[in-house]
Amino acid sequence: MVDFTFNDDFVYTHDNPYHEKLAEFSHFVLRDKEAEKFKGRWRQEVFANGRPIVAEIGSGHGDFMAAYCSDHKEINFLGMDFRFKRSFQIAKKLAQLSLSNFRYLRARGERLNYMFAESEIDSLFYFFPDPWPKRKQQKRRLFQEHFLETAYKVLRPGGEIFIKTDHDGYAEWMMEIIAKQQLFELTFFSNDLRGEFPEHFLSQYITKFEKIFIGQNMKIKAFVLKSKKG
């Protein structure tokens, strides 16, 4: 099956009242393909600095984004999620921050290749992706071979992807793709991040979904992938 989200022909639909409502935050929110206009120009034209760029796919309720931006004023942060209402809620929250080191994209993670030029970003965060657990649904998972090729392209040499998931099946799925592709080195993995590595920086941040999963006594799986690009 061809997923057109990854292609030139892809058109965002925005027949949702929250699309218009998001315009209220146009000083830091970019909707649909607006972000794609800045491909290759984020540092110069958007942030007007030469600092590292980190991107997060599926920012959800923005807990990680808000905390990380505040802890790391030395970076430029691009959060993204495609859900409309959630994007509006996160924008309201971000608007309260007295920080200028971020932008929020109402956009899809499949579009990395259209949003970023070769090696433009330094790291990528991807926390608690939708697991699509049934076999028939798995093709909807964002983490596919093609996705990893795209991430490899837009990340700088040695750039990293940080992933957390509650879902054993998705963790195994990712592990298989990483091993098959050989584009990234798996530099860190834990089946029980908080039990085994409470001091790891990934244990220092807790997202909304992570709280729910921890409340259900689920172990958090974590990956750090480092690009092998020379």
Ligand X SMILES: C[S@@+](CC[C@H](N)C(=O)[O-])C[C@H]1O[C@@H](n2cnc3c(N)ncnc32)[C@H](O)[C@@H]1O
Residue for token digits 């057109």? 4
Question: Considering the complex, what minimum distance in angstroms separates the CB of residue 67 from ligand X?
Answer: 12
Applying CB under 6 A, which of residues 77, 82, 88, 104 lies at the interface with ligand X? 82
Asked whether position 79 contacts ligand X by CB under 6 A, the answer is: no
130 is known as an active-site residue: yes
Residues 6 or more apart whose CB falls under 8 angstroms from that of 97 comprise 66, 69, 70
Q: Which of 32, 63, 130, 168 is catalytic?
A: 130
Question: Considering the complex, what minimum distance in angstroms separates the CB of residue 209 from ligand X?
Answer: 3
Applying CB under 6 A, which of residues 37, 85, 146, 208 lies at the interface with ligand X? 208
Residue for token digits 């028939």? 136
Applying CB under 6 A, which of residues 86, 153, 200, 226 lies at the interface with ligand X? 86
Asked whether position 210 contacts ligand X by CB under 6 A, the answer is: yes
Site string for ligand X, 138-157 (x = CB under 6 A): ----x---------------
Amino acid sitting at position 102: F
Tell whether the torsion through CA atoms of 52, 58, 60 and 64 is positive or negative: negative
Judge whether 101 and 31 are in contact, CB under 8 Å.
Answer: no
Closer to ligand X by CB, 49 or 191: give it. 191
Applying CB under 6 A, which of residues 108, 112, 160, 193 lies at the interface with ligand X? 108
Question: Considering the complex, what minimum distance in angstroms separates the CB of residue 125 from ligand X?
Answer: 8
- What are the tokens at 59? 């920012």
Residues 6 or more apart whose CB falls under 8 angstroms from that of 11 comprise none
- What are the tokens at 157? 């040499």
Amino acid sitting at position 6: F
